[in-house]
Each structure stands twice: as C-alpha cells, then as structure tokens.
Amino acid sequence: MSQYTPPLQDMQFVLNELADLHEIAALPGYGEATPDLARAVLEEAGVFASEVIAPLNHSGDIEGVRLEGGAPRMPAGWAQAYARFVEAGWPALSAPEEQGGQNLPGVLAAAVEEMWNSGSVAFGLLSLLSRGAVNVLRHAGSPELQQRYLPRMVSGEWTGTMVLTEPQAGCLSAVRTRATRAADGSYRLHGTKIFITYGDHDLVPNVVHLVLARVEGAPAGTKGISLFAVPKVLVNEDGSLGEHNDVRAVSIERKLGLHATPTCVMAFGDGAGAVGYLVGEENRGLEYMFIMMNSARFAVGLEGIGLAERAYQKARAYARERVQGVEQGGETSAKVAIIRHPDVRRMLLSMKSRIEAMRALAAVMAASMDQAALNQDPEVRDAHQAFVELMMPVAKGWFTETGLDIASMGIQVHGGVGFIEETGAAQYLRDARITTIYEGTTGIQAMDLVGRKIGRDGGRAIGAVIVRMRQVQADLESHAHAELRAIGAQLNKGIGDLEAAVESLVKSWEGGPKPALAGSGPFLELLGIVAAGWQMGRAALAADRLLASDPGSDFLTYKILTCRFYGDHVLSKSAGLRHAIVSGSGATLEFSDAAF
Ligand SMILES: Cc1cc2nc3c(=O)[nH]c(=O)nc-3n(C[C@H](O)[C@H](O)[C@H](O)COP(=O)(O)OP(=O)(O)OC[C@H]3O[C@@H](n4cnc5c(N)ncnc54)[C@H](O)[C@@H]3O)c2cc1C
C-alpha cells in the first residue's frame, strides 16, 4: 500500500512564515515553542504517522471492526499502535502541564493532527473526540469530575466520546434521552443514541461519554438540554475501576468508509439506568457541547487536509510510474509516464495547490486560536476570536468539500485502477465522504456563516478580514516580480467578488433570510477560495523574500509557481460564485416542492 511522506518542509514554511510561530512563542507559557523545537516535534510525529499509523490504514479498512460477545474488537495491530501513541505522549501534546500535558501551542498540534489524518483518519478520530471531551470537562466540569477523569483522558489512557445524535434527533432540540436525579447527587440516564464514534472499543479500559439528555421537568427545546459525563466503567473513590455502568454498544454501523472506527448504536440505561454526572449546570448542556463541537469542527477540517495530502501523494507516485501514451509535442514517439501529460500535471497541481492553500489557512486559524486564548491585550484577543469564529464554518465546510474533491481527483489520475479497491485510492474517497457530513453538514456550516456571521453581524467581522486581504493584494500588485503581480491581480478580482457577495447578502438578509440562505453554499466556497488565496498571496511574498538569501531553493521557486496556479485555476472561480450568490436565488426559491 501507498507510503506516506510527511510534508515537513511545507509545514515548517507555513508555521514560520505565515502562522508567525515566533509571535506564538511570545505568548505566556509557550516560550519553548521555538522553530527548532517545532521542527523536532514535526519530524517525530512524521515518523510515527508514516511508520506506525499509515501502515494500518488499508488493513484496518479491509478488516473493519467486529462486535464479539457484545464488545467491539478493533482490527489487528490497532491496540499496539494506540499503546505506542499513548506511551509517546502524543494525546497530551497541547494539554496544559498541570494536567499532564506538554503545553505546546495549538498551531503546532494542528500540523501534527494533519499527519495523523494522513496516516489514517480512522485512527486520528479517537484522539480527536477525546480532546474535545477533555476541553469540555476542563471548561465546565466540577473540580471533582476533573480530578477523577481528566488526567487519564489527557494521557489517552481512557478515551472520550461525543454523544448527541438520536434516531429522531439530528436536530438537538428533539433529544429524548432522559436523566433523573439520584439520591447521591448523580443522575440515571435512559435512552438510545446512534452513530457514536468510538462508542466502545478494546483499546482502553474505560470510555467517558459526554451525553446530552433532558432532566425530568426541564423546559422544552434546546433550553432544557443538559450534559452528563457517563463512564463505561464506574470509577471508585480511590481512582480504581469498579462496576460496569449500564451502558453498552448494541450494534456497529456498516458504513461507506472509516471501516476501522466503531460507529455504535449505544443503549444508556437498559436496566436501572446509566450513572451520569452533571457537567456544569442543568439546562446549559448545549452551550458546553458547543465547546466540543467547535474544536471538533476545526479538527474535522484537518481531516479534509490530511486525506487530501495522502490522496495527492498516491496519485503523484502513480503518475510517475504509469506509462501510457506518447508525449504530445515531445521529441520521440516512445511512451511516457503519464506525469508528462499536461492534463495530468494540471490535476496534480490542482490537488497540490489547494492542499497548500488549505494548510496555510488552517495554520493561520490555529495561530489565531492560540492568540485568542493567551494574548495579554483584550482587543487583540477579541480580534483573533472574531476571525476564528468567522472562519470556522469554512474550515469545517470548505476544507472537507475540497478534500473530498481532491480524493476524487486522485482516482481520476489513476484512471480505471483508481476505481478498483486493491489500489487504495478509492479508500480515501470513501473515508472523505463522511467529513462533509458529521460535526454539522456543509449546509449547516453555510447557514451558520451567512446567517450568524454575515447577516446578523452586518458584515463587520468579514470587513475587518477584507482589509487585511487588501493589504496583501496591494503588496503583490506593486511587486517587482511579474509572477507575484499576476497573483495579486487574481486576488484583487477574488476580493472584489467577495465584497460584492457580502454586500448583496447583508442587504438581502434585511428583507428575510431565504434569498441569502439560497446563496449560502456558494458563499462558503467563495470565502474559502479567497481566504486561502490571500494566504497563498502571503506565501508567494514570503517565498520571494526568502529566495533572496537562498536563490537555489526549488521549494521556494515552486511555491511561487504553485501560488500562481492557485490564482489562475482556483481563485478565478470567484466570478461564477459571485454570480450564483448575487443573482442565483431565483430558481431555488421559485421551484415548488412537487416540481423537483
Ligand atoms: C460515521 C458517522 C459518525 C458519527 N459520529 C457521531 C458522534 O460521534 N456523535 C454524534 O452525536 N453523532 C455522530 N454522527 C452523527 C452526525 O453528526 C449527523 O449524522 C450529522 O450531523 C447530520 O445529521 P443528520 O444525519 O440528522 O442529517 P439531517 O439533519 O437529517 O440532514 C439531512 C440533509 O438536510 C440538510 N439540512 C438539515 N437541516 C437543515 C437546515 N436547517 N437547513 C439547511 N439544510 C438542512 C443537511 O445539510 C443534510 O444535507 C455520526 C454520523 C456518522 C455517519
């Protein structure tokens, strides 16, 4: 099966030149995050991802997870790999020191997570969910809950889940799982949840479920939902494991992809009730769950990037070895590797340029998350927070939609064998398919973006980002280097289309949400390609600057060409998207339901 080579050079370029790692290292507690340390961490993670995780991806897909004697059994090799993952301290990379973590910045952890996902998204999902559960307990859990559960969840010795979905309730207001107060201050839960990722497995002795449920007598709708920590195995006063809680995996879903993750139907309280502990206060569950969902949304965006990188590497390797056709305009009539054909090169560059653009935007967002949490200046913190909130639907929605398209293009590069499972390219597409759905579909992200973050905000947050984009465009357009001026010209058009779309959405929102929401999908894509184009503009400027002291660098020379390709082939789509947003709601709204 295909090898994975961690893209360390690009990751370091992005961290140092675009995400301003030196500024992150100046934040309180992050003094050790120097470029040297970052390089060492990335190299170590790269070895783990390529040598331990990546080899399990295909075998895990084939073998899948089985329910044996009521317990999910993970595929061969996963238990050993996970034990090594924990032993090496990877789950605790960005957790605070006082909780047993290594306190490294989120921007570095994001690059590392991309590698886990390139190795295997099915593997990466386990720590993704646990990290989210840890975040919620850290912010909203009582000192007692924190003391009992956090250290072993941070270390990865126990894992966590996110338990929202019920058969009738994709929509959270419809949650029916019940919680009743018990005499000892805990609760007893009864209900069925579906689609619970890593709901049960044999990699660790305990799983801590964070479950949404309704306390008896709670208000109807989302205002009456509370959050509970429900361990698979109850924990005794002295920290040892006690009795099995009244929680079990009833079945494992058969899925299109991610065969090596147990996606479980979970029964809580088949008997006397599952013992649960309230997280925070009653009826504020949704608010707490959003802490988890926001970190998970960004992390799912990183799944899109990681999968796309792996699909690209596989396609590139195949294009180098597959001999087919003669080179048009070439010097001989001998057959050549397909990488010589202009259209194959276009596909590879389309994949590569979008991956680098997403990686850059993700790193800039992750750096902003670090700044929003730790900068000493409240105004700076607020500005970073506003940027992160605006861009979160793009990270979740656009990174994953783009990752899916890149995985599909990877199959196209392979031709017919790409469609055959043994080749392995198809798995990336199957695995990518869920990323645009879970943690809120792209449609829900687009609605959040246009409704809450553009319409109700009157376009203020995005206005501040556009000012920053315009500065980069001006630097590009006034540059001595023609390639950079060409990138600047495309960025100028992209930003113009974005401005026109924002103006139209803000205006139409005032008259009611429907026309604006009809354009929300195209707007999410437009903001994604322009924001990532802005980062590619910055990348081109940085590469040009660095070339002055390193004129022979292939990496920097090709970085500029990759940015140019992105401008010409990806950013240039902005005009069509603008048209769909500004003028395209008519048919969407005029079609009757019956006419579809
Ligand atoms: C493999 C897998 C793993 C999962 N893991 C977990 C997990 O660990 N924990 C958990 O709790 N859940 C999990 N889920 C559930 C997942 O988060 C939901 O399936 C997802 O959020 C979509 O909800 P839904 O299936 O109810 O779809 P629906 O909400 O029924 O959506 C169907 C379609 O309608 C659109 N739509 C729905 N409402 C609106 C609206 N208001 N406006 C515009 N469009 C709308 C959607 O975009 C979508 O295209 C998982 C699901 C899968 C398949």
pLDDT in tens, 172-204: 778 999 999 999 999 999 999 999 999 999 999
Ligand 1 geometric centre to CA of 583 (Å): 29
User: What number does the ligand 1 atom closest to the CA of 258 have?
Assistant: 1
- The string of DSSP letters for 330-385 reads -SS-SEEEGGGSHHHHHHHHHHHHHHHHHHHHHHHHHHHHHHHHH-S-HHHHHHHH
Mutate to test the pocket of ligand 1, among 441, 588, 589 (most ligand atoms within 8 A of CB): 441
Ligand 1 geometric centre to CA of 170 (Å): 5
Quote the CA–CA distance of 536 and 494 in Å, as a whole number.
13
Report the Cα–Cα distance between both ends of the chain, in Å, rounded.
Answer: 43
Q: What are the residues facing 165 on neighbouring strands?
A: none
> Topology of domain 8-144, per CATH?
Butyryl-Coa Dehydrogenase, subunit A; domain 1 (1.10.540)
- Ligand 1: which residue has its CA nearest to atom 16? 438
User: What number does the ligand 1 atom closest to the CA of 162 have?
Assistant: 9
User: What number does the ligand 1 atom closest to the CA of 164 have?
Assistant: 11
User: What number does the ligand 1 atom closest to the CA of 163 have?
Assistant: 11
- Ligand 1: which residue has its CA nearest to atom 25? 170
Ligand 1 geometric centre to CA of 318 (Å): 35
CB 24 within 8 A of CB 33: yes
pLDDT in tens, 287-320: 999 888 888 999 999 999 999 999 999 999 999 9
Look at residue 1 and tell me whether its pLDDT is greater than 80.
Answer: no
Q: What is the mean pLDDT of residues 570-585?
A: 96
Instruction: Check residue 422 and give its pLDDT.
Output: 94
User: What number does the ligand 1 atom closest to the CA of 261 have?
Assistant: 1
Residues 6+ apart with CB under 8 A from 300: 128, 396, 400, 435, 438, 439
Look at residue 591 and tell me whether its pLDDT is greater than 80.
Answer: yes
- Ligand 1: which residue has its CA nearest to atom 11? 164
For the chain, domain boundaries:
8-144, 158-284, 441-591
Mutate to test the pocket of ligand 1, among 128, 165, 263, 520 (most ligand atoms within 8 A of CB): 165
Q: What is the mean pLDDT of residues 1-30?
A: 95
Lookup: tokens for 293:
């969902």
- Ligand 1: which residue has its CA nearest to atom 48? 441
Determine which of 22-26, 410-414, 510-514 has the lowest per-residue pLDDT on average: 510-514
Q: Report CA 592 to chain centroid distance, whole Å.
A: 36
If one compares 329 and 567, the residue with the highest pLDDT of the two is 567
- Ligand 1: which residue has its CA nearest to atom 23? 170
Ligand 1 geometric centre to CA of 453 (Å): 21
pLDDT in tens, 201-248: 999 999 999 999 999 999 998 999 999 999 999 999 999 999 999 999
User: What number does the ligand 1 atom closest to the CA of 198 have?
Assistant: 8
Interior angle at CA 167, CA 216 and CA 128, nearest 5: 90
Burial of 204 (0-12, 13-18, 19+ CB in 10 A): buried
Ligand 1 geometric centre to CA of 16 (Å): 37
List, chain by chain if needed, residues with CB within 6 Å of any ligand 1 atom: 162-165, 170, 195-197, 255, 258, 263, 434, 437-441, 443-444, 447
The amino acid that residue 279 corresponds to is V
Ligand 1 geometric centre to CA of 87 (Å): 34
Lookup: tokens for 495:
């930003």
Instruction: Check residue 170 and give its pLDDT.
Output: 60
Q: What is the DSSP letter of 202?
A: S
Show contacts of 214-220: CB within 8 Å, 24+ apart.
Answer: 214/175, 214/176, 214/177, 214/178, 214/179, 215/178, 215/179, 215/180, 215/181, 215/187, 215/282, 215/283, 216/178, 216/179, 216/180, 216/181, 218/282, 218/283, 219/283, 220/173
Q: Report CA 37 to chain centroid distance, whole Å.
A: 24
Ligand 1 geometric centre to CA of 434 (Å): 10
Please give the positions annotated as active site: 439
Residue 554, CA distances (Å) to 544, 547, 551, 557 in order? 12, 10, 9, 5
pLDDT in tens, 340-362: 999 999 999 999 999 999 999 99
Q: How many CB atoms lie within 10 A of CB 563?
A: 32
pLDDT in tens, 138-157: 999 999 999 999 999 999 99
Instruction: Check residue 330 and give its pLDDT.
Output: 82
pLDDT in tens, 410-442: 999 999 999 999 999 999 999 999 999 999 999
- Ligand 1: which residue has its CA nearest to atom 7? 196
Ligand 1 geometric centre to CA of 436 (Å): 10
**146 φ, ψ to 5°?**
-60, -45
- Ligand 1: which residue has its CA nearest to atom 28? 170
pLDDT band at 81 (very low <50, low <70, confident <90, very high): very high
Quote the CA–CA distance of 578 and 583 in Å, as a whole number.
8
Instruction: Check residue 168 and give its pLDDT.
Output: 75
- Ligand 1: which residue has its CA nearest to atom 14? 195
User: What number does the ligand 1 atom closest to the CA of 255 have?
Assistant: 1
**3-class SS at 244?**
strand
User: What number does the ligand 1 atom closest to the CA of 169 have?
Assistant: 26
Instruction: Check residue 291 and give its pLDDT.
Output: 86
Mutate to test the pocket of ligand 1, among 136, 438, 447, 524 (most ligand atoms within 8 A of CB): 438
Kindly give the interhelix angle for 342-374 and 378-414, rounded to the nearest 10 degrees. 160
Residue 409, CA distances (Å) to 320, 352, 356, 403, 571 in order? 16, 11, 16, 10, 18
Mind spelling out the 3-state secondary structure of 145-176? HHHHHHHHHHCCCCEEEEECCECCECCHHHCC
Ligand 1 geometric centre to CA of 444 (Å): 9
Ligand 1 geometric centre to CA of 437 (Å): 6
Q: What is the mean pLDDT of residues 507-535?
A: 96
Instruction: Check residue 293 and give its pLDDT.
Output: 87
Q: What is the pTM of this model?
A: 0.97
**3-class SS at 546?**
helix
Q: How many CB atoms lie within 10 A of CB 382?
A: 12
- Ligand 1: which residue has its CA nearest to atom 26? 170
Instruction: Check residue 174 and give its pLDDT.
Output: 80
Question: Which CATH number, 3.40.50.720, 3.40.50.10860, 3.40.50.300, 2.40.110.20, labels domain 158-284?
Answer: 2.40.110.20
- Ligand 1: which residue has its CA nearest to atom 39? 444
The pLDDT mean for the chain works out to 96
